[in-house]
Amino acid sequence: MPHDHHHHHISPEDGDARVAWAIAVNMGLTVLQVVGGILSGSLALIADALHNFSDAIALIIAFAARKIGRKPADASMTFGYRRAETVAALINYTTLIVIGLYLLYEATLRVWSPSPVDGWLVVWIAVAALVVDLVTAALTYSMSKSSMNIRAAFLHNLADALGSVAVIIAGTTILLFDWPLIDPLITFLIAGYILWQSIREIGPVIRVLMLGTPPQLDMEALLSDIRDHVGVEDVHHLHVWQMEEDQTALSAHIVTSDTSIAVRKSLKILLKKNHGISEIILELEHPSDACVGAETIGHA
């Protein structure tokens, strides 16, 4: 069935301005957190700073991809440049996975060799970080609903907001109970969440880049609709893929005795209505000249 996207309409210029502001505040926060983490001796705060820096880099990549993605199609890129945003999402999720693994390594070392932590400095910087994280999330939330690229950057930031909350808890625990082991334990939680979130979200990105079918598409129902259509005798060499997150394309060879334009037109209307396919390429073959031994899906 068609997949409805309820987009919040934001002009490209307004979207770019929001992302630019998000980059600026995250870069400033990263510097503050790194300095605070070094002065306080908090690994959790440095972990949060590293993740926040990745937020800023993610936003820079997302910003560049938005610009590139708006370029019109040309002779060298006949499908256009929109997939630049999908590539940016892949880079951002991969970066998150690397950061998550690094934090697990550092936290493991800190468990065996705990260091003293300045709880008050950790708490105040983490509170400031949380405010910045929430501002950044507000700037990118509406755009994340319609863009895989911006969603990757938004999820970077959401994870960092949760990381800031975890760091506040760690600093408060150190102040109340003088328990430095909470610092690496909180780092484990931050790293675990980053890895869980990234591995979950990177799958759909890879699916688009691998020309996979949309996850919501019912291939059996689609084939049934084609075969049951008036005049259609068979279908083969069927390909369905996501051009972008919100654009699905289809190509197929249709065996029919009626090779008129009307058959092609009515099939396209049916596929667009029932399955939300926007780009459709159909090659009509007369039974006397149809491919022999062809696979229904894909090439033989």
CA angle 247, 240, 82 (to 5 degrees): 30
- What CATH number does the domain containing 277 carry? 3.30.70.1350
In a domain, 300, yes or no: no
In a domain, 280, yes or no: yes
How far apart, in Å, are the Cα atoms of 60 and each of 9, 26, 115, 198? 22, 11, 34, 18
CA 96 to CA 157: how far, in whole Å? 11
Task: Report which residue type is found at 120.
Answer: W
Q: Tell whether 68 and 168 lie within a shared domain.
A: yes
Are the C-beta atoms of 86 and 148 separated by less than 8 Å?
yes
Specify the number of domains making up the chain: 2
CA angle 32, 147, 155 (to 5 degrees): 35
For the chain, 300 residues long, give each residue's pLDDT as a single digit of tens.
444 444 445 566 667 787 888 788 878 878 887 887 788 777 767 776 776 777 788 788 888 888 888 888 889 988 888 888 888 889 888 988 888 898 888 888 878 876 666 667 777 877 887 887 788 777 777 777 767 777 777 777 777 777 778 778 877 887 888 787 887 888 888 888 888 888 988 998 999 999 899 988 999 999 999 999 988 999 999 999 998 877 899 999 999 988 778 889 999 999 999 999 999 999 999 888 888 888 999 874
| Predicted local distance difference test score (pLDDT) of residue 177 | 82
| Predicted local distance difference test score (pLDDT) of residue 213 | 92
CA 296 to CA 14: how far, in whole Å? 46
Q: Tell whether 124 and 236 lie within a shared domain.
A: no
* Domain membership of residue 227 as a residue range: 219-289
Are the C-beta atoms of 145 and 8 separated by less than 8 Å?
yes
Collapse the DSSP code of 243 into the 3-class scheme (helix H, G, I; strand E, B; otherwise coil) and give the result: strand
Last residue of a domain, one of 209, 244, 267: 209
Q: Tell whether 51 and 169 lie within a shared domain.
A: yes
Token pair 């991809």 is at which residue? 65
| Predicted local distance difference test score (pLDDT) of residue 248 | 92
Token pair 């972008």 is at which residue? 244
| Predicted local distance difference test score (pLDDT) of residue 5 | 43
Two tokens, residue 43: 């690994």
| For the chain, counts of helices (H) and of strands (E) | 8, 3
Two tokens, residue 147: 């863009």
- Sequence-distant (6+) residues with CB within 8 A of 84 are 65, 68, 69
| Predicted local distance difference test score (pLDDT) of residue 223 | 94
Measuring CA to CA, which residue among 295, 267, 296, 298 is closest to residue 281? 267
In a domain, 145, yes or no: yes
In this structure, what is the dihedral angle of CA atoms 213, 217, 223, 228, given to the nearest 10 degrees? -150
In a domain, 147, yes or no: yes
